Amino acid sequence: MIKLHGTPLSPYYNKVKVGLLEKGVNFQEVLTSPSQEDWLLEKSPMGKVPFVEINGHPVAESTVILEWLEDAYPTASLLPPTPNGRALARELMTMLELYVMAPSGPLVRHMVKGSRPEPAQCDEIRQGIARGISAVAQLAQQRPWLAGEDFSFADISAASILPLVAKLSQGFLGEDMTLRLSGCGEYLQRLGGRHSVARVWADRDASLAALMARRD
């Protein structure tokens, strides 16, 4: 049995969860917050979530977990069949995480705290997200998936990151920055048509609603 530790509010947790659902693997979700407590550091050395326990063996970092899943369950592949295609899927996944999600990080913290960023910070964040979206747009295939014909790591990251960035940028920056990616609306509709993504989005929305209710 695989135990997935983390929270549905985390795009990286949701990335792993989509992967598990796509692979058809039985798993148990364990609500876990990041911390520096000894027990958690023994399983995730930086105290981060998500991490998984595979029959008691811990594995941390979302991309490493996806790669483990691909090695352990290769028949339901989440990477294209060619070396160039696999590289593109990994490249897009990395760009989404480093250059789209990472610049949005301050907005996540403001959302959780119920605060608002200063105008100068908003401008900096907008510029960072715009650069990241532009880089993704340069490589995105959308035929029909981000790296081409095959649903892949790139789409799993996109499903976890783009809706969150859309919500954050619309709420704090006054613009849905993801719309700078041509065809993003139709692409998200295709993503939402997959059972794995639809379930993860529903669980995420329920957790976000619960957070807002507690804050109110």
Asked if 41 and 54 count as a contact pair (C-beta separation under 8 A), the reply is no
pLDDT tens, position by position, for the chain (216 residues)? 899 999 999 999 999 999 999 999 999 999 999 999 999 999 999 999 999 999 999 999 999 999 999 999 999 999 999 999 999 999 999 999 999 999 999 999 998 888 999 999 999 999 999 999 999 999 999 899 999 999 999 999 999 999 999 999 999 999 999 999 999 999 999 999 999 999 999 999 999 888 878 766
Element (H, E) at 51: strand 51-54
- Tokens 């692409």 locate to 187
Whether a cis peptide bond, with omega within 30° of 0, leads into 80 is no
Residue spans of alpha helices (H) in 43-152: 62-72, 83-95, 102-113, 119-139
Q: Residue 72 carries which side chain, given as an amino acid letter?
A: A
From-to residues of CATH 3.40.30.10 in the chain: 2-72
Q: Which residues of 19-37 are buried (b: 16+ CB within 10 A; e: fewer)?
A: bbbbbebebebeebebeee
3-class secondary structure, 215 = helix
From-to residues of CATH 1.20.1050.10 in the chain: 83-215
The two structure tokens encoding residue 84: 């160039």
CATH class of the 83-215 domain in this structure: mainly alpha
pLDDT at res. 216: 64
Three-state secondary structure string covering 147-206: CECCCCHHHHHHHHHHHHHHHHHHHHHCCCHHHHCCCHHHHHHHHHCCHHHHHHHHHHHH
Q: Which CATH architecture has domain 2-72?
A: 3-Layer(aba) Sandwich (3.40)
Computed from CA positions of residues 183, 24, 61, 163, in that sequence, does the dihedral angle turn out positive or negative?
positive
pLDDT at res. 208: 87
